[in-house]
Amino acid sequence: MRILTRSKLFCCVALVLFAVSALHAQDVNQIVQTAVNTELAASRNDHSLWRYRDEQRAAGKVSIVVQTAQGSVKRLIERNGAALSAAEAQAEDARIQSTIRDPEKMAKQRRDGASDDKNAAELLKMLPTAFLWRIANENGDSITLTFSPNPDFSPPDMQSRVLSAMAGDLVVDKKQHRIETISGKLVRDVTFGWGLLGRLKQGGTFRVERRELKPGLWQITETHVHIVGKALLFKNIGQQQDEVQKDFTQVPAGTTLEQAAEMSKAQH
């Protein structure tokens, strides 16, 4: 019989533990990568349009948003808990009509939306490598992963520098591999230009909630951002946002901007 010495036994145990740990890390990273791939594919293929109630609680504003292929119509209906007066509602209608009849304004809205989508996709692609991942808990429908900054990650731009300073949780739907919730907290200050151009303060938080509205169709339903900082010339670059989107109804694909403007008037 071959007898292992204590040192050899220790080395064997260490190698087994290392192998198990490496396999576990690989499994976790694969969960994240699969969720990222699924979300990117959904973003390319999901052309659904929606009407919903948008509550910007930090700003005290409630609006009705109606999406179309040409852009979105957003009608303010409440401010600080009170409905708009007749004069304010008339002015809001005039603003909307002026906007949807201005090709340059609508083109800018589409460009801004495309830019936001591109930035979101680029940040999404960085998730597997920007963080160190581990499984926090798992139930029948979802799995919760925790993430912390990966010291080997080199952020390519300012947005990813902020991302790479976050730690938090990611909840993934196990059946569809869709992201349900992502929340994080800045674990250190983020400076730009050695602090001369800007600084985001440690402790800032964000949380984004997403839900399935119809089979395979997911939308953001809550966005909470509380980040404080200063930019060049001491302008505030922090965000204080508490936005809730609800009462979703699907909009027909051929809806025009004029039709969307009328749909935004309805109170249901």
Domain parsing of the chain, residue ranges = 6-263
pLDDT at residue 247, as a whole number: 96
Position 152, amino acid: D
Give the pair of three-digit tokens for residue 188: 């250190």
CA-to-CA dists, residue 26 to 87, 208, 268, angstroms: 60, 26, 48
Sort 99 into a burial class: Cβ within 10 Å, 0-12 / 13-18 / 19+: middle
Q: Of 214, 267, 222, 264, which Cα lies nearest the Cα of 72?
A: 264
* Per-residue pLDDT tens digits of the chain, which is 268 residues long: 344 344 443 343 333 333 333 334 458 999 999 999 999 999 999 999 999 999 999 889 999 999 999 999 999 999 999 999 999 999 999 999 999 999 999 999 999 999 989 988 998 999 999 999 999 998 889 999 999 999 999 988 877 888 889 999 999 999 999 999 999 999 998 887 766 667 888 999 999 999 999 999 999 999 999 988 765 544 555 678 899 999 999 999 999 999 999 999 976 5
pLDDT at residue 13, as a whole number: 34
Compute the distance between CA of residue 75 and CA of residue 100 in angstroms, rounded to an integer. Answer: 12
